[in-house]
Structure 1
């Protein structure tokens, strides 16, 4: 082989390597390991990095890496054990993932509530100093943005049952938006263990703005009189026109670091001295006297 041919081959290999190193795309489906049925809105992400996405209603996903993966991909969904897939398996072509359902034995318990009164926890003002915006522009899909999560630390003064979630949207250009409600313990000032066993979702239609409400009273969610983190996670969005796709939530500066945010289900949490327009109406327990 001539020197020129060797050089050309080397340059082609180098070019292929550069292209490979620049982008790596996964496209496949997440399914139930027992029923083989799709798992809607499962989350996929790399721990500690801003690489992740959310599957659609049929469990199908598209996940783009800036380079070949070097860390395990974590797949999660409410009601399932989490799964981790090695980077080598991804490089070898694995694109279909399965999750095993959690076994949740529910004991026969008669719940007796104490006397309660209506209350609120969170920020009820519809305006703020900043509009916290999420979205994209000029792309046919927004799969790279799905999975973004925003929330706040809440501290009930007394034990309370959640009645309804309220989130204020200052702007919304989407025909359809879907969010998941998440609750976490507060550990070392950051979200810790997930508290919800149910997949509770909030949806909007027709570019809905203002206060968006989700009734959660039927889930019988009880909070203790201690800090908890409540977030909404962006699961899905649709818009006919692919341009100017975004929504925003008012945020007010706060003396304490109570607002939490992360890019996807496995990214590192950031904590801000701010508070979003997000609150719950609750039924607070009162002492019998």
Structure 2
């Protein structure tokens, strides 16, 4: 198996003599409330970190690693970034407080057309890289370090619905990530503008034992017309001082991946290799040639089967036996085909699926269940509130 140096996040804590330490908090300039997961770093130096949920941070580095003209950059989704020369910081202060001004929320582009737009469900990216390589970083990476890959798209108007990726190894209890979507910068194609204009961080936690992750992108209203870049950003690790989150990766002649080692650091480009990110998207088009051919439609219909079942939770014990309670209004999503159904008052659902489809079953207050269809069969789902079920396969009994 060929190994491609891309995507393991590693953290080491080092005790360094003469190390500078900037401790502080980032708050909303209008409300005074702390801002979580803010990127703080020295621009272009690979020195950076991410604030905690209470907005507090600790930035450490050696004096020889920076120069007097270097800039400290503080940025967060939904806020105007700040850049402050390091020479202007009052080193007599024990704790710095940085205030960021909120930016107006930018709504997605409204598409106006006299023609009726047709919707085509498509999958893009690299879903089939398992067994072809392992992506990882060997070097130390600070909070805010990112791994990204370019997803190539045929030109058109797309709404991004779901992101998928497999996890090959994660020895920690959990790794907290932020998902970022970027447009390629015109100067060299590196990640440029963040496409998430919702003002909401796209957070995702990979727990021990998770082998497949699905992120619902609809709440973030992401639209693209061309190639885009998806990245994983490291926000925290729990249960071990060193985290190694490895993902499927592989060679791709026209592929491009990118990495940076800390918040506000420079991006490095890796040509000819990609990480196993894939995206389900809806194409909106007035061109009939972009629609699936009749042959493709027939092939898809032949692969589909209708399954049904009940979504339920374990109720209170009666005479030592737990009672199953059907769940009305539970949501069953076929992420692969972008279809959604709700359960009726008896907890029943019906849905068309095909082998390989990824389903999500959820209900408020319960952990979401992610399942992969290995054979289209009727299946009942039990949702839990006490523990998370990360991956289960639908198999014939």
- Between stretches 127-136 and 245-254, larger displacement belongs to 127-136
Q: How far off is 1:237 after superposition?
A: 2.1
For residues 74-110 of structure 1, what are the alpha-carbon distances to aligned partners after superposition, in whole Å with 9 as ceiling and x for unaligned? 0000000001122123352452211111123759968
Which deviations, in whole Å up to 9, do the C-alpha atoms of 1:128-157 show, x marking residues without a partner? 323314797xxxxxxx62101111112222
Secondary structure, aligned partner of 2:88:
helix
Q: Which residue of the partner structure matches residue 4 of structure 2?
A: none
Do the aligned partners of residues 156 and 197 (structure 1) sit closer, same or farther apart at CA in structure 2, a change above 3 Å counting? same
In structure 2, stretches of 5+ residues that fail to align are: 1-15, 289-397
Greater Rg by CA:
2
**Alignment match, 2:101:** 100
Deviation (angstroms), 1:244: 4.5
In structure 2, the residue matched to 1:89 is 88
Task: From 133, 137, 143, give the equivalent of 1:129.
Answer: 133
1:166-245 → structure 2 map (5 Å cutoff) = 166-186=164-184, 187=186, 188-198=188-198, 199-224=200-225, 226-239=226-239, 242-245=240-243
The one of 38, 51, 55 equivalent to 1:55 is 51
- Aligned equivalents of 2:76 and 2:161: distance in 1? 24
Which fold has the larger relative contact order, with Cα–Cα distance below 8 Å and residues 6 or more apart in sequence? 1
Name the counterpart of 1:13: none
1:140 aligns with none
1:279 aligns to what?
278
User: 2:59, 2:236 → 1: CA distance?
Assistant: 14
The structure carrying a bigger helix percent of its residues is 1
Does 1:37 pair with 2:30? no
The one of 99, 115, 118 equivalent to 1:115 is 118
Using the size of structure 1 for normalisation, the TM-score is: 0.80
Does structure 1 retain, via aligned residues, the 8 Å contact 2:47–2:61? yes
- For 2:72 and 2:45, locate their aligned partners in 1 and report how far apart those are by CA, in whole Å: 11
Give the structure 2 partner of residue 149 of structure 1: 146
Give the aligned length: 260
What CA distance in whole angstroms lies between the structure 2 residues aligned with 1:108 and 1:177? 34
Q: TM-score, normalised by structure 2?
A: 0.60
Measured at CA, do residues 245 and 105 of structure 1 come closer, stay the same or move farther in structure 2, by a change above 3 Å?
Answer: closer
Name the residue aligned to 2:326. none
**Backbone CA RMSD of aligned residues:** 2.7
